[in-house]
A and B are shown apart, each in its own frame.
Chain A
């Protein structure tokens, strides 16, 4: 199986490549970096300018593929290749290429405009997340992985609903392949209280019950994972909440081998098997300090 990296030229985009190599090392995949350059007009008889454009695109593509190859060379233990493709839409071309390669995930970076260390979903990333039939891995801006970096822990965004349960098995498969441990994370922002609050403590009461339910669901999930062969010391569950998402995230400790696995929304009206971020999932992605793997519902990783 292979992993496809969407490489953006001229942006010093090593993050996605580093992440892809880290994932590949953990799962025994090979990595293909794909650079997309603009396609010329599909005119029946190409004019001189069209040819010139195509020539420029080919040169550009070649240079970019070379740039990617150099970055890939920093991970000599990972089988990799670098190609360029002409296409009118970057996400669409990446998806076509991932189908052709039967890639199991598309890996992208965060672009140059977001804050350092955080994941920013670029417009291309957004489109990819809306239409990819395979998992999408997102690297935070400035992400670096060493030449021996592996995934050591898969953090599953789990909240006890049906979608979470189906995600659990796929995250377990990811962890199993990488030999990583699993951590169940239930993250939430507390509901704001109603004004005027006629019933004292009304929201605290509901929140307390929610936490109990989340803990019970985690315990059940950990039992389930234990029954499919995970050792107890490889399993952990954390419920983290706060008044804002960053407060909830602040309560978690992270290591350099963490990979946060989130499920895409199960209520996507478009195509049910595709990746599509729900409102909580997209908040989780944007606040995650570690790389995120977004997996579509109902399909094996």
Chain B
């Protein structure tokens, strides 16, 4: 099928809301410069571990344990299953529609403009708000580190947000370290800095190292009493905690999108996704179990866990600050890289949205010398810095989870819809166990979504209304699909060569 030319006649709002973007692929690589299919399954698995570990585990226990008690271990398993299933569905959609720009773009191609706008709101939560959340978490470890290294830390007013959080910490003025971290990452991105595969590998080792350290020391203080009344919080507690924890598994989808770089995606992708998931879950479970082994569930609700929680537990278990300082240092270094990578992701998603004309075109302007989208990066980073400076993390985590779960549910439904509407589309990777896996994905996501707090739903509703409002007032009138005259204008850069790639 070839992409059709523009409908020149005025179209109704309903048509516009439902219209899909045609898939037009244009190779951007010269002959011989295409992506080499040279990743092994193991490398891909490690890639997934690296992209996943670290986003949430350093902060999430203080949020999740109070909700579920010792059964938080079950919540971890539930969140892991949801993440694994979602990643499989995500992999199929990514291989069927090989375009840039993540879930947002898949939705535009598979469901139409309205769904794409809804999803764009979700992915801004997945990337943008998670950058803020990670920066806030970093701030806690940063203060812990300066405190234990030089006995000084920023005054309370400058390290806590002005909005009161749920655990009753006294509000401050601004979370300055979080703001500074985001702005530093902005400067790096503006200059075109990227994190190389080697640096990424080092960061992964640091993260894994300090988490294993925590687990070992935590278990040394094992008290079985802490696991008493295991299901005290009931299933509601388990699902609520799973919602918060889900945030820690974001990044696993990165494996799904790397399908182009392996020789046999049908075999390699599920192995890599499930392998990475098992490794990540094992580490998370070990950390959670070690935390519970060392401290009673009630401890996790206290202010001690609010900032640099894992470091505080280590300090209390060992009685000195050496190991907690090591952990804080590891967290400060590795979470910095997580912030950089997620901020980068958010700018590129905005870039994709800007390309479609749904946000102003300036977001796609690339600096001629630095070859980076400077306006985009500056605006996105400042917005994220403002959120990081003003909003406490408890509100952010669940918001990230709801956005991501929504996006993943849409992806899973998308797999089913695409199988029906585009049965003959080439799919280098197909979900095993269709249709059970996508249906199960939707069910698990729905279960976790159901457990999220009403306030999270309200935030999500307001945010979605803002996004849709902006679309109705502005984006609708400026969409590229309104005016494009040739396929070149909407062509997607493609790293792989395939005949007959266009579809609609």
Cβ B493 vs Cβ A204 within 8 A: yes
Instruction: Return the chain A residue nearest B199 by Cβ.
Output: A195
Query: In B190-210, which residues have CB < 8 Å from any A CB?
Result: 192, 194-197, 199-200
A45: interface (CB < 8 Å): no
Instruction: Return the chain A residue nearest B126 by Cβ.
Output: A198
Query: In B352-378, which residues have CB < 8 Å from any A CB?
Result: 352, 355, 364-366, 368-369, 371-373
Instruction: Return the chain B residue nearest A204 by Cβ.
Output: B493
Query: In A142-191, which residues have CB < 8 Å from any B CB?
Result: 159-161, 164, 188, 190-191
Measured between beta carbons, the chain A residues less than 8 angstroms from B456 are: none
Measured between beta carbons, the chain A residues less than 8 angstroms from B352 are: 199, 205
Given contacts A195-B195, A198-B251, A214-B368, contact A204 B495 (CB under 8 A): yes
Given contacts A194-B341, A201-B100, contact A207 B28 (CB under 8 A): yes
Complex Cα distance, B256 from A197, in Å, reads 11
Given contacts A195-B195, A196-B341, A200-B257, contact A206 B371 (CB under 8 A): yes
Given contacts A191-B371, A194-B194, A210-B371, contact A199 B200 (CB under 8 A): no
Measured between beta carbons, the chain B residues less than 8 angstroms from A280 are: 369
Complex Cα distance, B194 from A205, in Å, reads 15
Cβ B366 vs Cβ A202 within 8 A: no
A243: interface (CB < 8 Å): yes
Cβ B345 vs Cβ A207 within 8 A: no
A10: interface (CB < 8 Å): no
Measured between beta carbons, the chain A residues less than 8 angstroms from B30 are: 251
Instruction: Return the chain A residue nearest B33 by Cβ.
Output: A243
Measured between beta carbons, the chain A residues less than 8 angstroms from B365 are: 209, 213
Could you tell me the distance in whole angstroms from the C-beta of A240 to the nearest C-beta in chain B?
10
Could you tell me the distance in whole angstroms from the C-beta of B285 to the nearest C-beta in chain A?
22
> Which of A196, A207, A214 contacts B200, CB < 8 Å?
A196
Given contacts A193-B194, A201-B492, A243-B33, contact A213 B368 (CB under 8 A): yes
Interchain Cβ contacts within 8 Å, total number: 126
Instruction: Return the chain B residue nearest A160 by Cβ.
Output: B368
Cβ A209 vs Cβ B348 within 8 A: no
> Which of A198, A204, A213 contacts B366, CB < 8 Å?
A213
The count of chain A contact residues (Cβ–Cβ below 8 Å) is 34
Given contacts A191-B194, A201-B493, A280-B369, contact A196 B99 (CB under 8 A): no
Complex Cα distance, B261 from A197, in Å, reads 12
Complex Cα distance, B118 from A14, in Å, reads 68
Complex Cα distance, B495 from A213, in Å, reads 20
Cβ A199 vs Cβ B345 within 8 A: yes
Could you tell me the distance in whole angstroms from the C-beta of A80 to the nearest C-beta in chain B?
39
B56: interface (CB < 8 Å): no
Cβ A205 vs Cβ B493 within 8 A: yes
Complex Cα distance, B29 from A190, in Å, reads 11
> Which of B26, B341, B366 contacts A209, CB < 8 Å?
B366
Could you tell me the distance in whole angstroms from the C-beta of B277 to the nearest C-beta in chain A?
15
Cβ B127 vs Cβ A198 within 8 A: yes
A79: interface (CB < 8 Å): no
Cβ B100 vs Cβ A159 within 8 A: no
Measured between beta carbons, the chain A residues less than 8 angstroms from B195 are: 194-195
Cβ A202 vs Cβ B192 within 8 A: no
Complex Cα distance, B195 from A194, in Å, reads 5
Measured between beta carbons, the chain B residues less than 8 angstroms from A160 are: 368
B94: interface (CB < 8 Å): yes
Measured between beta carbons, the chain B residues less than 8 angstroms from A204 are: 28, 100, 493-495
Interface of B is mostly: mixed
> Which of A192, A210, A213 contacts B194, CB < 8 Å?
A192
Cβ A208 vs Cβ B28 within 8 A: yes
B51: interface (CB < 8 Å): yes
B281: interface (CB < 8 Å): no
Residue-wise, chain B 78-107 has the 8 Å CB interface mask toward A (1 for contact) of 000000000000000010001111100000
B351: interface (CB < 8 Å): yes
Most buried by B among A160, A198, A208, A213: A198
> Which of A191, A193, A197, A213 contacts B372, CB < 8 Å?
A191
Instruction: Return the chain A residue nearest B253 by Cβ.
Output: A198
Given contacts A207-B493, A209-B364, contact A202 B100 (CB under 8 A): yes
Measured between beta carbons, the chain A residues less than 8 angstroms from B387 are: none
Measured between beta carbons, the chain B residues less than 8 angstroms from A210 are: 366, 368, 371
Complex Cα distance, B465 from A10, in Å, reads 78
Instruction: Return the chain A residue nearest B349 by Cβ.
Output: A199
A238: interface (CB < 8 Å): no
A217: interface (CB < 8 Å): yes
Complex Cα distance, B94 from A209, in Å, reads 22
Cβ B101 vs Cβ A205 within 8 A: yes
Could you tell me the distance in whole angstroms from the C-beta of A244 to the nearest C-beta in chain B?
11
Query: In B414-473, which residues have CB < 8 Å from any A CB?
Result: none
Instruction: Return the chain B residue nearest A267 by Cβ.
Output: B369
Residue-wise, chain B 19-38 has the 8 Å CB interface mask toward A (1 for contact) of 00000001010100100000
> Which of B101, B127, B196, B495 contacts A195, CB < 8 Å?
B196
B142: interface (CB < 8 Å): no
Measured between beta carbons, the chain A residues less than 8 angstroms from B493 are: 201, 204-205, 207-208
Measured between beta carbons, the chain B residues less than 8 angstroms from A159 are: 368-369
Cβ B254 vs Cβ A198 within 8 A: yes
> Which of A195, A200, A251 contacts B197, CB < 8 Å?
A195
Complex Cα distance, B100 from A208, in Å, reads 11
Complex Cα distance, B374 from A210, in Å, reads 12
Could you tell me the distance in whole angstroms from the C-beta of A140 to the nearest C-beta in chain B?
26
Most buried by B among A161, A201, A203, A280: A201
Measured between beta carbons, the chain B residues less than 8 angstroms from A251 are: 30
Given contacts A159-B368, A201-B493, contact A195 B200 (CB under 8 A): yes
Complex Cα distance, B195 from A5, in Å, reads 45
Measured between beta carbons, the chain A residues less than 8 angstroms from B351 are: 202, 205-206, 209
Could you tell me the distance in whole angstroms from the C-beta of B248 to the nearest C-beta in chain A?
15
Measured between beta carbons, the chain B residues less than 8 angstroms from A205 are: 100-101, 348, 351-352, 355, 492-493
Cβ B51 vs Cβ A196 within 8 A: yes
Given contacts A191-B192, A209-B364, A214-B368, contact A202 B200 (CB under 8 A): no
Residue-wise, chain B 111-129 has the 8 Å CB interface mask toward A (1 for contact) of 0000000000000000100
Residues of A within 8 A of B (CB): 159-161, 164, 188, 190-211, 213-214, 217, 242-243, 251, 280
Residues of B within 8 A of A (CB): 26, 28, 30, 33, 47, 50-51, 94, 98-102, 127, 192, 194-197, 199-200, 251, 253-254, 257-258, 340-342, 344-345, 348-349, 351-352, 355, 364-366, 368-369, 371-373, 492-495
The 4 A-B pairs of least Cβ separation, nearest first, read: A201-B100, A202-B348, A196-B51, A204-B493
Q: Give me 4 other A-B pairs in contact (C-beta within 8 A), A197-B254, A202-B348 excluded.
A: A195-B341, A196-B51, A198-B127, A210-B368
Q: List 24 A-B contacts (CB under 8 A).
A: A159-B368, A190-B371, A194-B194, A194-B340, A194-B344, A195-B195, A196-B50, A196-B251, A197-B258, A198-B102, A198-B254, A198-B345, A199-B127, A199-B345, A199-B348, A201-B98, A201-B99, A204-B28, A205-B348, A206-B372, A207-B28, A208-B26, A210-B366, A213-B366
